[in-house]
Chain A
Amino acid sequence: MNKRLINILVPLISIVLGLVIGAIVMAVSGFNPVDGYMALWNGIFMDTYTLGETVRQITPYVFSGLAVAFAFRTGLFNIGVEGQLIMGWLAAAYVGQAFELPAIIHVPLALIAAAVAGALWAFIPGLLKAKLQVHEVIVTIMLNYTALHVANAFIEMISGGGERTDKIHESASLRSEFFESITDYSRMHWGFVLALIAVMVMWFILEKTTRGYELKAVGFNKHASQYAGMNVSKNIILAMVISGAFAGLGGAMEALGTFENMTKLHASTGIGFDGIAVALLGANQPFGVLLGAILFGSLKYGGLNMPSEAGVPTEIVSIVIALIIFFVASGYVIRVALERFGKRKEVK
């Protein structure tokens, strides 16, 4: 089969499948699927406000997706993005409210603090994996809970027993009046530019540097890499730390953009866990992650409008969105199947 044809067919089939099955779910539950999808569409693209908010929603997903993808590419399964993101959020919120500095220093400082906090939180499982062969999945999962409660305790300490940290100073904020004016007060902020830069950075590290090559090599085959003279444990730790830094920056997006402070969390934010799906959607490629985050974030945000405009309950919305994402992700399966099928024919 023609490669180009496959390229066009596979996503078309998978998205249509997702939409159709989603429509069936809505119809069976007694809701009008056309209204539902219309509301979803409006929720994403209706006006500048929803567009701005959609971008806002996408931004942290890019970072959490990159964090997961980076670890995947280096043979590690970082489920702790959630926790690293929370630590980054906390660090950025703290730096944002505790110091008064000119914006040119304050913003970078808060971002660096977030990246370092996320990196430190990921350093622990990296170290344990490298030195003691403790599986990173277990450690990172457990550290998610630890992060949640540590952050809550810190918020209480910083705010003197309150529920939330003070608002960050304006000099640390990523929001801008310009975006507010063109998007009718949406919470869109400069973070999306940083997200794009982060995509470039990850691509550069992995594809253009020796270190990136080593990281990938260790991921492919630890023993071969060691035999080739690479320092395996150092590379494992480094991979986790870079992954954690991306996650921490995702937290900074919430601290410096969306919320401009941090409230005690009752439960995980979900952004870190969704990052796993985003990374898989994007096939662990930096630019793929960007597209995965755009799809994921848009659906998530647009879905909020479905109960409001079409009366579809949030539970059904979750199912419909999950179905669309499921079929887009399984598009790769369809593709592989099609290609295999084509190849076999050629051999014969």
Chain B
Amino acid sequence: MKKRKFAFALSGLLALGTILGACGSKDETEEKDTNTGTEETADNFSVAMVTDTGGVDDRSFNQSTWEGIQAFGEENGLEKGDGGIDYLESKSESDYVTNLNNLIRRDFDLIFAVGYALHDAVDEIAGQKPEAQIAIIDEVVDGRDNVASIMFRANEASYLAGVAAALETKSNKIGFIGGMQGAIIGGFQAGFEAGVAAINPDIKVDVEYAESFTDAAKGQQIAKRMYDSGVDIIFHAAGGVGNGLFTEAKERKQKDPNANVWAIGVDRDQYDEGKVNDDTNIVLTSVLKRVDVAAQEVAKLAQEGNFPGGETITYGLKDQGVDLADSRGAITEENLAKIEEYKQQIIDGTVVVPEQPEK
């Protein structure tokens, strides 16, 4: 019995092999044709990226990076594919190394690794392939001359979001939903809390972490609890978890158009996620992390031969690497002016935004 099954499965594998092999050989010539097609654009500087497990359409920083690369591609007339621009999505943590390697083998001149989760993979690959140029976002990889680290002072823009929330709140209760606890999201939390405290030290921010960047159901659950307890503005720094926040806020607004519920988006302008109907939207503003701007800039630097390998570039309010999104009338003119004041003070250095929350 056992032998039979063994033989059966083995023959299955062999069959799979032969069939796939047949497919392969048939196609070889075709493949070569497409290759020569792309060679005309070989002088172009090609850029690609590897996403973290969030995927390229995470409505957050993976998407934002890709938008930056697309903008770069448009400027230089690059198309998606070899020798142009491309992305690879990672489904699990073990895919990072493979995907980075894949892109290097396809001769991309610059490769973006999006997110701190790719730290180890970048470190490993950079050591093995010293000729590759890799830029990692939201994380610092030390001691590799071929890796540029791109960081954002998200705490500064979060501070402004805190100011906005404290000015706009009616219930004097404000919430914060974090993704995974750690230095990156800690920056958002610290800035946000400091911003709220700057306007009204009596407001205590209700902080809860989802311990995930993907679990939208968890985000909705937390948002529900916060809104139920009287919180009227919630800021999320939790990637896909935030989609649950938007869902909850939109549902409440749909049931009761007078409900005072607001959400503050993160990374990209998340205005579109907050649309209830044509004239109602629950997104107050968004904390922008202009990963797209940074990606585009670094790509440009690398194209000119000035790839900032081994360096850490930090984008803050000053360099417009972080900012608040257009509130589209959700924040009053008067309050916007106040926010602008704080922004100026941060840029001048008179206000120093804490980088990590107090324990």
| B94 A287 Cβ-Cβ under 8 A | no
CA distance in complex: A163, B10 (Å) = 42
Return A12 CB to nearest CB of chain B, in Å: 5
**What string of 1s and 0s marks CB contacts (under 8 Å) between B9-34 and chain A?**
11111011001110110110011000
Asked if A236 lies at the interface with its beta carbon under 8 angstroms from chain B, I say: no
Q: Which residues of A, 291-305, contact B by the 8 Å Cβ criterion?
A: 291-292, 294-295, 301, 304-305
User: Which of B95-103, B225-233, B282-290, B312-320 makes up part of the contact surface?
Assistant: B95-103
Within 8 A of B (CB), among A24-57: 34-35, 37-38, 40-42, 49, 53, 57
Query: A258 to B94, Cβ gap below 8 A?
Result: yes
Chain B contacts of A307 at CB under 8 A?
Answer: 88-89
B117 adjacent to chain A (CB < 8 Å): yes
**Quick one: closest A residue to B103, CB to CB?**
A308
Q: How far is the CA of A19 from the CA of B12 in the complex (A)?
A: 13
Task: List, in ascending order, chain A residues with CB within 8 A of B181's CB.
Answer: 156
User: Contact at B98–A15, with CB atoms within 8 Å?
Assistant: no
- A267 close to B (CB within 8 Å): yes
Which residues of chain A come closer than 8 Å to B88, judged between CB atoms?
Answer: 304, 307-308
B214 A35 Cβ-Cβ under 8 A: no
| Contact between chains at B92 and A266 (CB < 8 Å) | no
Flag whether A331 is at the interface (Cβ < 8 A).
Answer: yes
Given A259-B94, A305-B102, A38–B9 Cβ distance below 8 Å?
no
Report yes or no: B116 in contact with A163, Cβ–Cβ below 8 A: yes
Q: Is A144 an interface residue (CB 8 A)?
A: no
Nearest chain B residue, comparing its CB with the CB of A10: B8
> Given A295-B16, A304-B102, does the pair A266, B23 have CB atoms closer than 8 Å?
no
Q: Could you tell me the distance in whole angstroms from the C-beta of B190 to the nearest C-beta in chain A?
A: 14
Contacts of A57 in B (CB 8 A): 94
A258: chain B residues within 8 A (beta carbon): 94
**A97 at the binding interface (Cβ < 8 Å):** no
Indicate whether A263 sits within 8 Å of B19 (C-beta atoms), given known contacts A35-B27, A269-B92.
no
A contact residues, total (Cβ < 8 Å): 58
Nearest-CB distance from B134 to chain A (Å)? Answer: 15
B211 interface residue per 8 A CB criterion? yes
A308 touches B106 (CB 8 A): yes
Assess the A7–B8 pair: CB atoms within 8 A: yes
Give the shortest distance, in Å, between A256 (CB) and chain B (any CB).
14
**Contact: A266 with B213, CB < 8 Å?**
yes
Contacts A295-B13, A305-B102: A11 and B24 contacting too (C-beta < 8 A)?
Answer: no
A189 interface residue (CB < 8 Å to B): no
Whether, in the assembled complex, A16 has its beta carbon less than 8 Å from a beta carbon of chain B, the answer is yes
Q: Which residues of A contact B117 (CB under 8 A)?
A: 163, 263, 266
For this complex, into which size category does the number of interface residues on chain B fall?
35 or more
Contacting residues, chain B, for A156 (C-beta < 8 A): 181
Q: Is B255 an interface residue, CB under 8 A from the partner?
A: no
Closest to B21 in A: A41
Q: Which residues of B contact A263 (CB under 8 A)?
A: 93, 117, 120
Cβ-defined contact, A149 with B9, below 8 A: no
Instruction: Determine if A53 and B20 form an interchain contact, defined as CB atoms under 8 angstroms apart.
Output: no
Q: Is the C-beta of B53 less than 8 angstroms from some C-beta in chain A?
A: yes
Tell me how far the C-beta of A177 lies from the nearest C-beta in chain B, rounded to whole angstroms: 13
Main secondary structure of the interface of A (DSSP, over half): helix
Asked if B15 and A11 make an inter-chain contact with CB atoms under 8 angstroms apart, the answer reads: yes
CB-defined contacts of B21 to chain A, threshold 8 Å: 41
Known A15-B19, A41-B24, A53-B98; contact A267-B13, beta-carbon cutoff 8 A? no
Q: How far is the CA of A314 from the CA of B215 in the complex (A)?
A: 20
Other-chain contact of A37, B13, B20, B55, B86 (Cβ < 8 Å): B20
Which parts of A279-321 form the interface with B (CB within 8 Å)? 282-283, 285, 287-288, 291-292, 294-295, 301, 304-305, 307-308, 311, 314
Chain A min CB distance to B264 (Å): 22
Pairwise interchain contact B182-A163, C-beta atoms closer than 8 A:
yes
CB-contact partner of A41 in B20, B93, B101, under 8 A: B20
A187 near B93 (CB under 8 angstroms)?
no
Are B15 and A12 interface neighbours, CB within 8 A?
A: yes
A304 & B6 in contact (Cβ 8 Å cutoff): no
Q: A38-B24, A57-B94 are in contact. Are A266 and B7 (CB under 8 A)?
A: no
B12 touches A259 (CB 8 A): no
Q: Quote the shortest CB–CB distance from A336 to chain B (angstroms).
A: 13
Q: Which of A166-224 contact B (CB under 8 A)?
A: 185, 187
> Could you say which residues of chain B place their CB within 8 Å of the CB of A314?
55, 89, 91
| Contact status A301-B15, CB under 8 Å | no
Task: Please give the distance in Å from B51's CB to the nearest CB on chain A.
Answer: 10
A164 pairs with B128, CB closer than 8 A? no
Bound form: Cα–Cα A292–B9 in Å: 8
Question: B120 — which chain A residues lie within 8 A by C-beta?
Answer: 164, 259, 261, 263
10 contacts between A and B (CB under 8 A): A7-B4, A15-B16, A41-B23, A163-B119, A266-B212, A267-B215, A288-B9, A291-B12, A305-B102, A328-B12
Give 18 A-B pairs besides A37-B24, A259-B94, A264-B182 with Cβ atoms closer than 8 angstroms.
Answer: A7-B11, A37-B20, A37-B23, A38-B31, A49-B101, A156-B181, A163-B119, A258-B94, A263-B120, A266-B117, A283-B5, A292-B9, A295-B12, A304-B99, A308-B102, A314-B89, A328-B12, A331-B12
Which 3 pairs, one residue from A and one from B, show the smallest C-beta to C-beta distance? A11-B12, A291-B9, A37-B23
